[in-house]
Amino acid sequence: MSAPATSQNGAGPAPAPLKALRPRSHGRRKAVDAAIRVFAWVSATAGIAVMFLIVWEVVQRGFSAIDWGFFTELPPVVGEDGGGLGNAILGTLVITFVAALIALPMGFFGGIWLAEFGRNGRVATGIRMVANVNMGIPSIVVGVFVFAALVRPLQHYSGFAGSIALAFIMLPVMARTTEDILNLVPNELRESGLAMGAPRWRVTLGVVIRAARSGLITGAVLATVRVAGETAPLLFTALSSPYWLQGLFGPEGFFGGPTANLTKTVYDFSGMPYERMQELAWGGALVIIVAVLGLNVVMRLIFQRGKEW
């Protein structure tokens, strides 16, 4: 039986010879690359075409409903002509604004703590997990939760309950977006500020956040847009109303009773067998699309102009 081969210095067995690598076919790689490119282009084109058809259909059907009365008048009585969605537009603006006042500051400072102070601690890891789970929860579940926690004990729907439901949806989005944006800031900026003797909180607020302000504002806008077209949570919280929002309390107040909102009104009117109400529903859908799309475009233009300055 022959002895195993040893290395040249006699320290141990010689390494086994490497197997020759089979060269890949250049033509095969080009074919796979071309196939993936074609698949990506076809998929993107199909998706864009579907979105364009939806937007075109909404514009074509809803543009005829847009006039001055659409923004200033109450919805028409069943079967009558005229009227508008002024109360629903106002209610949507108020509900979304209050939700943003609640969720954006909490999500902003929560994201700062996760990125700058909590880091890899157990508490921060648990909060991230809960935030990620909440981001995937269907919005109707949030509506049912707020209904059980707020609407049912108070025995009435309200615009404030709708704002709470939307705030629940916005909060994890803002927190995780803030954390991700702050994690993109180079550590050298933090180290430079700390080396100059500034406390950690001042470095965070004065250096890190200032460097990431454009991304943070974008995250706030995205969180707001995320809830701008929500309908399901408002079905169980704000419901709807044919009247103008009148003050804070009372049957038609923000805290005291059902509050008109655009998405719920579009949902109701789209199923009505009356031409005028269906026309107003298409107009409301057009307003939602224009508002969401316009807000995104304006923010991108502002940030692009800021970078040029």
Assign 201 a pLDDT band (cuts: 50, 70, 90). confident
pLDDT in tens, 208-227: 898 888 888 888 888 888 88
Q: What is the pTM of this model?
A: 0.83
Residue 309's pLDDT is what?
A: 44
What CATH number was assigned to the domain covering residues 62-308? 1.10.3720.10
pLDDT tens digits for range 11-36: 556 555 555 555 567 788 888 889 99
37-84: pLDDT as tens digits: 999 999 999 999 999 999 999 999 999 888 898 999 999 887 778 888
In the chain, where the domains are located: 62-308
Residue pLDDT, tens place only, 96-150: 999 999 999 999 999 999 988 888 888 888 999 999 898 888 999 999 999 999 9
The sign of the dihedral angle between the CA atoms of 143, 148, 151, 157 is positive
Average pLDDT over residues 172-183: 91
